[in-house]
Amino acid sequence: MSGRPAKPDRRLALDALLGLVEPGGSPGHPCTPASRGPAGESDSSARPSASLGSTQRQEHIMSTKTVEQVELGRFLKVTARQFDAGCTAPEMFSPAIDGEWHRLLNVPDYQAFCAEHAGRQIGHAPNVGAGEVPWVRAYEELFGPLPEIWFTDRHGRLDHEGLAHYRETGTVVAEWDCSPVPGDGGDEAAPARQPAAAPL
């Protein structure tokens, strides 16, 4: 035993964040501590059953999305709105969410994930840059302030300085190395952010 505290169950934390359960769980919910076995394992009643209807299975699957998947879905929704408005491609500045994006790009359900959140296929392309991230306002109009996961690296380390800057100023200044593109990322590309012209 390492003496380190156990990691919180991300799904339970997400359900609490979304208001599906009270923090710590509530009786009868499949993610409550009461229905968990040793080491936080779910009992069989928390798993989707083949006898459930397709709507019930979909609702169960949706309730087990990770925070990264929820935020990627929100990012794709903002992306679709940005593209529809003729804006530049939003910059993916979160290594944690980008890691989930890369994982989902390689699974057959990615097209359905895009359709659910963006209403269309969204590709992924290199786009290296740094600066203020302008699409944050569009996100906040739809979903409220960015959660901490946006300031978390692939290893779960929080960028306290970046998060504090965002909370104090309402702006995000970051580096990024990719952005979404319409379609599957083939020949059609979203407008990339143009670098500022050098003074003459």
Whether the per-residue pLDDT at 101 is higher than 70: the answer is yes
Q: What is the mean pLDDT of residues 102-128?
A: 94
What pLDDT digit, counting tens, does each position of 12-28 carry? Answer: 444 444 444 344 443 33
pTM for this model (two decimals): 0.63
Residues of the chain with pLDDT > 70: what percent? 60
Residue 131 near residue 173, CB atoms below 8 Å: yes
Average pLDDT, the chain: 73
Whether the per-residue pLDDT at 99 is higher than 60: the answer is yes
Euclidean distance between CA atoms 155 and 115, whole angstroms: 29
Whether the per-residue pLDDT at 32 is higher than 70: the answer is no
**Domain edges within the chain:** 10-63, 67-182
Element (H, E) at 96: helix 95-105
| Position 100 confidence tier, pLDDT thresholds 50, 70, 90 | very high
Q: What is residue 72's three-state secondary structure? A: helix
CA separation, residue 141 to residues 19, 23, 117, 130 (Å): 19, 26, 16, 23
Residue 78 near residue 138, CB atoms below 8 Å: yes
